[in-house]
Structure 1
Amino acid sequence: MPVDPRSRVGESIAAARQLARMTQKELADASGVSYSMVRAIERGARMPGDSVLDALAAVLGVDPARLLGNHGNTDSRVHDEIPELSRVIAAYDMPQDGPVRPLHELRAAVEEAVTWRVGAQYLRIARGIPSLLDELARALDGVRDGAERREVAQLLVAAYRAADAVAYKFGYRDLSARLVELMRWAATGAEDPLLDATVAYVRTETFFAAEAHDPGLRALERALDSAPVTPGRAEVAARGTLHMRAAVIAGRAGCEDAALMHIDEARRCGDQVPEGIYEGTVFGPSSIRIHEVSLAVSLGGRHLQRALDIAHEWAPPRTLSAERRSGFYIELGRAQLWAGQPDHAFESLKVARRIAPQHTREHRWVREDIATLRRLKRADREDLSNYAGWCQAV
């Protein structure tokens, strides 16, 4: 007998509330949703509408997709926001008239968008980022030089990157490439070599999407030549992130020696800094382990055992960003599948889904691997078929 979706959503909201250490009354008061409505939703008697779900998710600090599981239309809601994002990008140098908040408020708004990005909260980004980009463009128009203009340019880079996370994850590759170019444009006004390294890191997405691995590796190595060499944490992390990504793209290019050299350099950088967010990029020892798994998948063959060994002795901590943690299990699932462990692979994909449903659902490898699992197993297995239907692999 199928489970009532109202019950599933209610359970998700209750679990998120308990994790936030809130009572039903506190959640109701903070969200503006009536106490009786919260109680009814949690016990499965009511299905929340979009506005109620968004209000609850905002208080709980999660994306609505995480509360909906596979019963919502979050993906279509993200796609509905893309035309407005495209409009803002097309008119990046001719923003609509409107107010501009003080710099400290703009800074806080961008920091919130960065938090949504690393937490894989794409619906929130898709809804909020177009107006923020318009406002930042007006702010840039309003200052001609000096430290304030450089900071606005830095904020624009971070906001463009948040927008790119949505475009790239949801398959708008041309829009993503345009956003990366706007990041590069804005970075010139920031006059910050650390930001240049960040942009080079993000630009690699366009090389991955085009499977242009050799030029992508050359671009990263050129960025490494220009990266700051001072021993500060931010500078070490900037070099480490470039080495980390260079290792993976070198692996996909079939350059094993270069890949292993870059992951060794990334590991040395990671040994010098704690796990954290540096210039908008998560870096540290845990991130490097996750990229080691990614590299093992890129190289394949005898290297797959390295991915399995890492997973046997280590799991990404809950303090790590949702996108990084779900990415670990997606990569691990592929390694397990290729190593002849289909049951373990499916378990890894289910974990990835629980951690970051939007990120997992839109990941091309997830669709490919669940389709392979259905071929290897019985195609009519309900759990595999449900997962395949959820990520639109069938």
Structure 2
Amino acid sequence: MTSLATAQRSLADPSVRHPLWPPLTRGCPVTSTEDVAYPLDIDYAYDRVPAGLFDRPAAHGLERWAPLLPPLAAPGLGEGNTPLVELADGVWIKDESRNPTWSHKDRLNRVAVSAAVASGARGIVVSSSGNHGAAAAAYAARAGLPCAVFTSPSAPPAVASHLRAYGATVLTVPYESVRPLMRRIVDELGFQSVSSVTDTAHTGHPFGPEGYKTLAYEIALGLGRAPAEVHLPTGYGELLFGVAKGFQELARLGVTGSVPRVYAAEPAAAGALTEALRTGRPVARVPVGPTAAYAIDCEVNSYRGVLAVRTTGGAAHTVTDDQMSAARKELAAQGIWCETSSAAGLAGLRARGRRESDGPVVCVVTSSGYKDIATAKESFAPTAPDWEPIRATLTARESERP
């Protein structure tokens, strides 16, 4: 199937349009100001979407949705088609840890790396604390492109091993040097950035969030309708925007009769989107405190997140590490092991309280517990081969079960 993508358009002023190529990775050159770099969105020939596109089940590989994605010039890894798991109280979990590199970032990078291939980039460069870098490295390797990943010296040791396994060049430099160096790699070496290189706001790759739309498609097909609410872990807000856009497209095409309210859950140690919405600004910058949710502790938001919340009637709120830890334990008790950041959506729902709604409620879990900063740091004493303490331990645990 052929892509129906037609143009890039400014999210600050949708009447401002640019050709589809090249991807404008530094925001809209017309509507951005000295204070705010505004990201771009991708437009499609919606009147040409094939009849029956949503009549078939979801499948592994984003090419299943090719008409509503930018051209997929790079090969995939069977990303997407992750399971919906129902909890006892009727809340549904969309488990993105089942993707090829164990996170939702595979969806973004299938699309963004494809854009780099199609536009003739000589390599991929990305700034990431873990998930985004691993996915970019994997999809760059699959496409035969070199990949440079700027990551934090404090990132979990497993992250560097994961990146290097794909042949990526791992760079650990002071935070304030990352974006200037990324811009030089783009300008002087011909690489394409698949993460943000702008200083005044997060813009990111304009094609990337299109990959996240497919989450909405899969959720709607899995439930047989649009949910009433979707709760998502939120850092910069690209996932939030992509999921909201996907549901808006489904309603526009008559596949569903409604658009769910989209709720952002940010760590209390940051909360840039929550602050932007509270103050009515397109972008807010906040101090970042210590948190186990290192994957979403962002000091600045993207305007994409503001639009996602406003256009769906949702909200943004912060959750504490204790609340995320409790949600993580709840998920683990149901067989879903995720990193602390990934439990933020469920933590946000639990903090808000389950309310009467006009349909199902979905929480997105974004990444595997293998990515957590504390994973593999604990040690456990060996078990003595004595029956009585083993019997007592198992009996006690059996009595603790609900």
TM-score, length of structure 2 as denominator length: 0.30
Structure showing the higher helix proportion among its residues: 1
- Select the structure with the greater relative contact order (CA < 8 A; seq sep ≥ 6): 2
Structure showing the higher strand proportion among its residues: 2
